[in-house]
Structure 1
């Protein structure tokens, strides 16, 4: 449950902070002050004072994390957050890593939890992670999608995505939740 809350928090932060971050690129590179204070402990030459500084700053970081004022994430959890947000139109922020480098192409591989036709030839597919995708083209599939089928979704042009279900020809889709 905590993991979903963190993913939601990251997504909300990305949406709320994007206008402010777009104004000043230097803001995206700033470290949290509480972390900067911890790093500054290295400059203290007296070992006893340095240890005391580290102890105090680590305790402050621990307290901030417990109060959800500071969110710590490793590369694996950031990748999982990106996976959870895959298909949504969100700004490209440094919180997902890659420091301005070319973004790696991402392909989502999941299992279908349920599938139904909202109208003839327009499939709505619910994935095992709760994501809901709708078909936006008129491509007919040889075999209807079923629970447990594997689906591979990759980025296409103009904000849409291609989905291959059990190796069939790709259909164009869009995420709706």
Structure 2
């Protein structure tokens, strides 16, 4: 009998709670991205017993910052939500190639170390390079005039 009373109270309160909760259509109509996200966050989940009501959900959130090229490759050392897929630069001066554990300084000031056992002999002056993000936090050094690549990690 007691369970029946609790069930009837929950059923009676359901429509009242639903009237105060935002709907998908109401959230879709919001043009400000931060307010729209807060609206979606405030939607009650089907398995939830009560709608989510918190000051954090109602407060607008700041848009994520654009990726900083100076931090490219250091994401594992700092928490970042957004980052670039690659960065272009060049190696100033004459470049003869690389071997395991060699460090390569780019024109943008970044220093990358060879992280695999690869080696290559090259004869290039001011070669243009791309550091490309691979799977699972791996980075690859690619040369514009060569099909050779090396697995690298950022050290400076």
User: Per the shorter chain, which TM-score range?
Assistant: 0.3 to 0.5
Which structure has the highest helix share of the two? 1
